[in-house]
Amino acid sequence: MTISALRDIACTIDTTPGTRGRGRPTQSRAAATRDAVVGAAAAHFTSVGYTAASVSDIVTDSRITKGAMYFHFSSKKAVAQYLVRVWCEVLVETITTATATAIGDDVVGGRSAHRQLVAVFRELAWYVENDPRVRAGLLLSFESDVDENARVYRAWTSAVTVIVEHAIPLRDPAITTITSVGLGESLCSAFVGAVQVASSLGEPESIGRRVEDLLTLWLDTAGSQSLD
């Protein structure tokens, strides 16, 4: 799977609005209501997890009625899938921008694949640190009830592996047994771990720093260049 797989997944994640309720609110009011639901849901999913989060709590914190929520989302799962789609779309945008030109040897679009790999994870760290919706979407993408078979994660690691194959010269005999697939997945899983730790500690502002430390350690271990 490559970036096209992520793009396909983003298009197929079901975010169909709910069908309960009557009437059609004005566009601006509807957008405000949807944003309130999504914001409250993102906070609850991140703090207590998907299973423990309840529609009642989301509605209370959104300061709307259940009917208003169901106008936009048919269920708690639908809200969660919307957030996963937000995360997936960020992945598509970030990786597409970094790999705008076909990879050739060690260069992609005039920039080394190594630098593009760093740029991808720095950009993802910025989004996850600063946008609670993106952070919640990332964490929810590992909930089997929300994203069956972790499709988003698998497509993400595959897309990153394509860059890794050109960014990491496996010249060190000590790491020649490590495949590019293993290196790509280890970087993605470590990124997820950094986000989970920061979220659990209530320190989302530390995500960028944690990812910088991760990149420094990971690229040094892989025998690659410095971050700059």
**Which two structure tokens, joined as six digits, stand for 80?**
């969660």
- Predicted model pTM: 0.83
CA distance 162 to 148: 24
pLDDT tens track for 112-140 = 777 888 899 999 999 999 999 999 999 99
What pLDDT is recorded for position 23? Answer: 46
Mean pLDDT of the chain: 81
Average pLDDT for 187-215: 95
User: What pLDDT score was predicted for residue 65?
Assistant: 86
Position with higher pLDDT, 117 vs 170: 117
> Mind listing the pLDDT tens digit for each residue in 50-78?
999 999 999 998 888 888 888 889 999 99
For residue 21, name the pLDDT band (cuts at 50, 70, 90).
Answer: very low
* Average pLDDT for 210-224: 78
pLDDT band at 32 (very low <50, low <70, confident <90, very high): confident
Please give the pLDDT value at position 64: 87
Percentage of the residues of the chain whose pLDDT score is greater than 90: 46
Q: What is the mean pLDDT of residues 183-194?
A: 91
